[in-house]
Structure formats: structure tokens, C-alpha cells
Amino acid sequence: MTASIGQVAWQWRERWRATTIRALLVVAALACAAPGRVHAAGQAIGIVPPLAAAAPATQSSGLQVLHWWTSTSERKAADLLAARLKSEGIEWQDAAIPGGAGIGAGKVLKGRVVAGDAPEVTQIIGVSVAEWAEMGLLLELDSVAVADDWNGVLFPTVQDLIHYRKHTMAAPLGIHRVNTLYYNRALFARHGLAPPRNWNEFEAVARRLLAVGVEPLAHSSEPWQVATLFENLVLAGGGPDFYRELFVRRSPAAAFDARTARALQHLRSVKGWSRAPLAERSWTEVARQFARGQAAMMITGDWAKAELGGLGMTLDRDYGCTGAPGSDRYHLYSVDTLSMFAGDYRHRQAQEKMARLLLSPAVQAEFNLLKGGVPVRRDADPARMDSCARASWNTFAKGAGVQAPSLVHRMATDEATRDAIIAEVHRFFLDDRAPVAVAQRRLAALFRLFNITSQGTPGAQDTDRGR
Ligand code: BGC
């Protein structure tokens, strides 16, 4: 009981911290009578200079880009963007912050903005785009979007993610599939196994592997990676509608539902398959374990596919890729997007040029090949993709009915709620004695709390088109 109260207090504090910055900026925006709407909020609290005073004679062509692409393959993909930008006369000034799923980058970004040191370009994804847009600090990319017909070429779900109050607030780069199962073909062949298509088969395969001394699943106890497994299990057991009920609408009834109980039980079973105590390892270390053949399977986003290539593994020869057990029909997505801080508009030309470049068919194809995801454009050619990407693209193209927004990757809900859910799932995962029913109660309590405090949270609304 004491822990539960402490937990709730902690949630409040976290929530308070997150909303303080937003409230500060919103209040400032309302109070500000400056002509540039986008510029106004930051200006009012002194984090950007007044338009008139700062308007420079020349446009700057160097852009600082804050992002969390720091693994070998992610670096290559970012370097490609830097090279393409360079040929357009724009210098990419790198501000990479390590930490899978942008855990570190999100914190650094907040700190930098409050300190008046916002980068010109930043990786902000999912509901966070609307959260930042609401503060009035982001550059509207409407002119580029209209000129290049983004509405005509983008998937509807992607359009939703980059829009805030009908303005385009981010340039989308690629779509990742978070429900990806990787399996080691040699190990599967040696032990006469087929890739599992549902929970029962998954469990049976794990038992067979354990019996012959093979670690079934490469995994980590890092909170976001544990929650990745959990969201996969929820989607597999409940389908996209139930998934949204739990993570987007955050319905307390869904938290008490038998499908949530089952997903928690399955999460505990998966933990039990691990032959050594699970360490908090980065996703790249997990990928290395899988690449060395020290585990037969891995479930994570398709960014790991790009990393496996660099580790000497070839898709369809050394390893297979399919939808995670029970979710092959669905697409658990994370869409990468870059937003621009308006600042004093000195970088506007370069920022718009960059946005245009990111959406070009050539950059979309090249970037996603290196990154492991698929283009955000509906006119991309699936015939030019590898088997894993093609399956992802074809599934995503089926529309909102099969899509589920990744909680972990900020696609389903605001940052504070996401952090609290991840912490709760992680807590359950670490404590083998924690009853499933208690975890459900705690999730339901969180939902009630956040559903009261997040009335009006930008971007967290549920739409018919995917979120
Ligand atoms: C991003 C990916 C990135 C992954 C691992 C996700 O949130 O969408 O681009 O590779 O995190 O850090």
C-alpha cells in the first residue's frame, strides 16, 4: 500500500515536471502579442530573440540535428542524410545522443530548449510532435508539404502523426515495424523447428530449444525493451482494437481484461526462458548476442535488421524475419520524423530544403535500406525491398485496421503516460512474486490518474486513422 501511494506520488511528480514546461510555454504563448505565432511562445520566455531584432540579412546553411541514431547501422543512415544535404549546400552538424528509443535524447532536448539552446532540427516522434507543436516552437512546414503534395503521397497514419491543428510540423523519414521476429535459420533447421505463429507454438519452440541447451530469445531487462515485448504480447493476444483500448484510450476496464492478464503472464513466462539472469543491455548488445548464434530468436523493431547486416548476417540466408508470434497480420509501428525549431527563422530556407529532401523518393529508398524501415510514401516500390521490408510495407499499407501505434516509441500516448506505463511493466517484470492482478490494478490506477490529468493532451486523441 505504501509503495503504491509512493508510486502514485512519483507519477504526479513526473507528470508535473513534464507539464510544467508545456504550461509555461502555453501561458507565454497566450500572453504574447508578437506577430509570429510560431515564434511567440519561445520569445515570451526569452528563449528566442524578438523577430525584428534577430531577423538576419543572410540565411544560415548549417543545421544542427539532434537525434538518437548512434548504432553502427543508424550512424550509416544518418551519414547518408548528411551527405545528401551536403550536396544541397547544407551542413549537417551532428548532435547525436545515445540511448535506444530516444530515452536520453528526449531529456537532452527538453534541457536544451529550456536553456535557450534548441537545435535547428530534432528527432521528435509520434505524439511528441503534437506536444512540441503545442508549445509553438516548431517551424510549420506547410509550404513544402503543399508544394510537394505530401497529402497525396503519404500514408494517412503518417499524415496524422505530422499534423497539428492542420499544420505540418515534421518531415517523416521511415516506418519501423516493432513486431518483428528474427530467427536463426541454422539453429531452427538443426533442431527441426518452424518459426512460431502464435503463443502456443512460441512456447513449444522455446521448450524444445531449452531442452537442447539453446537460449530461446535474445533479450534485455532494459525498461523500454521489456515494454516492447509486452506491447507485442498485448497486440498478439488482443489485436489492434484491444491494443488501442489499453494504450491509446487507456481504459481501466482494458487493464482489468483477461487479455491484459494473459499478456502479463506471457511476459513472465518469457523471462523464465532465460538461462542466465537477464541484464540491462542495450538493443545493439542483444542484436550481437543473436548474431553470434547465442540465442535462436529475437523480437524487436526492424532497425535491428540493419544492424545484423553489419554483424555479418544475411537476411533469408542466416536468419529469417516474420511478424512476432500471433501478430503477423498486424503492424506495430514507429514512424521516424524530424521537426525543425523555428528559432529566429535564420535557418528557415535550409530547414525547408532539408524537409523537401527527406521526402524525395530517392532519399526515402536509400535511407530506409540502410535503416531497416520502409518508406513513408505510398508510391514506394515494394519490389525493390527485401523480403522483411516488403512484408512490413504491404502490411502497413492495409491501413488502420491492422496497424497498432507503438507505446514504447511514443506513437500511442503522451510521454509522461508512456514513461509511467513502461515503469509499471518493468516493475512487474523484475519482481517474480508480484501478482498479475496487482499489476493490472496498478495499470488501471495509472490510467485513471492520467486520463484526468491529460484532458486535452495534444496528439493523444484517438483517431480513426491509426492512433
Ligand atoms: C526509432 C528508431 C531507432 C530505435 C532504436 C526508435 O524509437 O524510431 O529509428 O532505431 O528507436 O533506438
What the chain holds in terms of domains, given with CATH numbers, is 2-53+61-174+337-382 (3.40.190.10)
Of all protein residues, the one whose alpha carbon is nearest to atom 1 of ligand 1 is 101
Distance CA 70, CA 97 (A): 7
Helix (H) or strand (E) holding 403: strand 403-405
pLDDT tens for 371-391 read 999 999 999 999 999 999 999
CB 348 within 8 A of CB 140: no
Q: Which atom of ligand 1 is nearest to the CA of 70?
A: 12
- Ligand 1 lined by 333 (C-beta under 6 Å): no
- Ligand 1 lined by 174 (C-beta under 6 Å): no
CB 164 within 8 A of CB 461: no
Of all protein residues, the one whose alpha carbon is nearest to atom 7 of ligand 1 is 101
Phi and psi dihedrals of 237, rounded to 5?
-85, -25
Give residue 128 CA to ligand 1 midpoint distance, Å. Answer: 14
Nearest to 68 by CA among 254, 270, 450, 336: 336
Q: Which atom of ligand 1 is nearest to the CA of 301?
A: 4
Give residue 127 CA to ligand 1 midpoint distance, Å. Answer: 15
Give residue 243 CA to ligand 1 midpoint distance, Å. Answer: 21
Phi and psi dihedrals of 205, rounded to 5?
-65, -45
Encode the chain (467 residues) as per-residue pLDDT tens digits. Answer: 334 534 543 454 445 344 444 444 443 343 333 333 333 344 433 344 333 334 444 566 799 999 999 999 999 999 999 999 999 999 999 999 999 999 899 999 999 999 999 999 999 999 999 999 999 999 999 999 999 999 999 999 999 999 999 999 999 999 999 999 999 999 999 999 999 999 999 999 999 999 999 999 999 999 999 999 999 999 999 999 999 999 999 999 999 999 999 999 999 999 999 988 899 999 999 999 999 999 999 999 999 999 999 999 999 999 999 999 999 999 999 999 999 999 999 999 999 999 999 999 999 999 999 999 999 999 999 999 999 999 999 999 999 999 999 999 999 999 999 999 999 999 999 999 999 999 999 999 999 998 876 654 555 445 444 44
Q: Is 276 exposed, middle or buried (0-12, 13-18, 19+ CB in 10 A)?
A: exposed
- Ligand 1 lined by 368 (C-beta under 6 Å): no
pLDDT tens for 204-262 read 999 999 999 999 999 999 999 999 999 999 999 999 999 999 999 999 999 999 999 99
- Ligand 1 lined by 228 (C-beta under 6 Å): no
- Ligand 1 lined by 68 (C-beta under 6 Å): yes
Query: What does DSSP assign to residue 324?
Result: P
* Three-state DSSP string of 129-190: HHHHHHCCCECCCHHHHHHCCHHHHECHHHHHHHEECCEECCEEEEEEECCEEEEEHHHHHH
Distance CA 155, CA 288 (A): 33
C-alpha dist (Å) from residue 287 to 25, 32, 290: 40, 49, 5
Distance CA 411, CA 162 (A): 11
Distance CA 407, CA 240 (A): 12
With the most atoms of ligand 1 within 8 angstroms of its CB, the residue from 65, 66, 68, 307 to mutate is 68
Of all protein residues, the one whose alpha carbon is nearest to atom 12 of ligand 1 is 100
Give residue 4 CA to ligand 1 midpoint distance, Å. Answer: 32
